[in-house]
Structure 1
Amino acid sequence: MTDEVRPGHVRIRLDLSYDGAGFSGWAKQAGGRRTVQGEIEDALRTVTRSGGTTYELTVAGRTDAGVHARGQVAHVDLPAEVWEGHREKLLKRLAGRLARDVRIWSLAEAPAGFDARFSAIWRRYAYRVTDHPGGVDPLLRGHVLWHDWPLDVDAMNEAAGRLLGEHDFAAYCKRREGATTIRTLQELSLVRGADGVITATVRADAFCHNMVRSLIGALLFVGDGHRAPDWPGKVLAAGVRDSAVHVVRPHGLTLEEVGYPSDDLLAARSREARNKRSLPAAPARCC
């Protein structure tokens, strides 16, 4: 794989958001399930009058069913004549074609070397939860999890700090054949707002399947007193799935933002991200 765009094509960056409640995730699936990728590709094919030709999207983060996105990024390679013929009205035409639970906010020619997935240097998610004894504000019920035990945010932050850095997050990921579970967790912090909603900010260079929701599940166990603050770190060190780590429900999770390096570093970052990572070998012990 390379970052080169095929001759006669133009790479377009899309910035978009969606409410994940009505989607079976981002990626197209067999069986006719509704997905974000499928919805946008169908709309793009229709408004560009491309007949049976589908222009496939590449996305920064493939969100699961029920997960929302406010700052998702994707790219698509369009024939130059299609782009030139539709660029001025493409955004508005897509807005008229797409369902109201998915919006594209900008379409622009991407700089050389840009790949929505591999050029990204971080993804930032937010998970929102409330422990209010009365439940969740009805207007927020599709975006906030209700946890029916009081939560100690300080204990959760103490536990979160032990998980930062580069680690093998196998204990918090659903394994996929041939995929690494080594990630660099750059930020994991929780803040209780004036409305009582606790927002967990989770930022990493990349995430493996179910990683964010598993981390939040472990922190909730600490917050409600079922586990000590050192427990999530012990689970991480053990390197295997722990049945006590629950994957929390998806509706509290939103992809907020994707970060990219400066334009001159895009291609190098993309090449680096395609390399399968391994952790440094532990120093030899003697005697």
Structure 2
Amino acid sequence: MTRIALGVEYFGQPFHGWQSQAGGGTVQDALEAALAAIAGEPVAALCAGRTDAGVHAIQQVVHFDTGARRPLTAWVRGVNSHLPEGVAVRWALEVDATFHARFSAQARRYRYLLLNRAQRPGLWQGRVGWLHVPLDLKSMQDAAQRLLGEHDFSAFRAAQCQAKSPVKLMHEASVSRRGDLFIFDFMASAFLHHMVRNLVGALVYVGKAAQSPDWFDELLRQRDRSLAAPTFAADGLYFRGPVYPECWNIPEPLDDLVDLGES
């Protein structure tokens, strides 16, 4: 058997999230069907981080085992010829059997794009969140810095979250602005269900002066989801990819199209 790692990008709006469902319509369903068409056998693809319905991926890393011997180009161009619009394999790499897309990752990265203007998005519909109320960048930056380090993130955890522990290590939590676009970047050891969207919702409350940055200290201390802000829309959320030890030689994202919003 050979283990292959893939870098996959997708526009999440047409899909019911990553994880396979009985009714189909997920990224995993589409990818496994395309892989099976090239392998000539059933293929199970395991990902670095499951994404919800409507969430996009700049680089989702997956791995699968197969007895089929194919050139790496077949796992890219061949698989892409069987994939629906909105999802594409960017690269393929043969890896050691001990590599695991999820468990070998040291951290994961997410970005949220929020359009902050009076008019709703047209060209960027489905690709950005939107809020018409003006936001204050400095107060949101202040609040975001309070997330750094190891914390119990229960206040930002969905009720249906199945993670064994709410304690995560936050390596990066930043907010920047490019014109009407606010960019929220997070990197952590792992993320809870809806955690990033809940963090963005709380940061927006601070940005529109409904709460002060000190509120974040209280939320982390209280560990009560009911005290925090509502979950923000999935439209602007992008999985930027996992971080692996250099020994695996996993490519970084080939290009980050979301950076077009930062020009």
Q: Same fold (TM over 0.5)?
A: yes
Matched, 1:27 2:15: no
Matched, 1:37 2:28: yes
Matched, 1:191 2:176: yes
Corresponding pairs, count: 249
Matched, 1:14 2:6: yes
Matches within 5 A, 1:23-102: 23-30=15-22, 32-50=23-41, 54-79=42-67, 82=68, 84-85=69-70, 87-102=72-87
Distance 1:211 1:233 in 2: 16
Q: Which runs of 5+ in 2 are unaligned?
A: 251-263
Match of 1:131 in 2: 116
User: Is the CA contact (8 Å cut-off) linking 1:48 and 1:86 kept in structure 2?
Assistant: no
For residues 111-162 of structure 1, what are the alpha-carbon distances to aligned partners after superposition, in whole Å with 9 as ceiling and x for unaligned? 45311101111111110112212232x2112211111211001000101111
Amino acid at match of 1:148: H
User: Is the CA contact (8 Å cut-off) linking 1:111 and 1:263 kept in structure 2?
Assistant: no
> Which of 141, 146, 166 is matched with 1:181 structurally?
166
Query: In the superposition, relative to structure 1, how do residues 242 and 45 fare at CA in structure 2: closer, same or farther (>3 Å)?
Result: same
Match of 2:261 in 1: none
Query: In the superposition, relative to structure 1, how do residues 178 and 71 fare at CA in structure 2: closer, same or farther (>3 Å)?
Result: closer
Query: In the superposition, relative to structure 1, how do residues 114 and 133 fare at CA in structure 2: closer, same or farther (>3 Å)?
Result: same
Query: In the superposition, relative to structure 1, how do residues 251 and 88 fare at CA in structure 2: closer, same or farther (>3 Å)?
Result: closer
1:213 is displaced (CA, Å) by 0.4
User: Is the CA contact (8 Å cut-off) linking 2:95 and 2:248 kept in structure 1?
Assistant: no
Amino acid at match of 1:225: A
Q: Which runs of 5+ in 1 are unaligned?
A: 1-8, 267-287
> What's the secondary structure of 2:186's corresponding residue?
strand
1:181 is displaced (CA, Å) by 1.2
Distance 1:177 1:235 in 2: 21
Distance 2:24 2:174 in 1: 35
Amino acid at match of 1:73: V
Query: In the superposition, relative to structure 1, how do residues 11 and 184 fare at CA in structure 2: closer, same or farther (>3 Å)?
Result: same
Matched, 1:204 2:188: yes
Query: In the superposition, relative to structure 1, how do residues 187 and 218 fare at CA in structure 2: closer, same or farther (>3 Å)?
Result: same
Query: In the superposition, relative to structure 1, how do residues 74 and 196 fare at CA in structure 2: closer, same or farther (>3 Å)?
Result: same
Larger mean CA deviation between 108-117 and 226-235 belongs to 108-117
Compare CA radii of gyration and give the structure with the larger one: 1
1:85 is displaced (CA, Å) by 4.0
> What's the secondary structure of 1:29's corresponding residue?
coil
Distance 1:148 1:88 in 2: 45
The CA RMSD measured in Å over matched residues stands at: 1.8
Match of 2:145 in 1: 161
1:233 is displaced (CA, Å) by 2.0
Amino acid at match of 2:183: T
> What's the secondary structure of 1:135's corresponding residue?
coil
TM-score, normalising length: structure 2? 0.89
- Paired-residue identity, %: 36
User: Is the CA contact (8 Å cut-off) linking 1:128 and 1:197 kept in structure 2?
Assistant: yes
Matched, 1:214 2:214: no
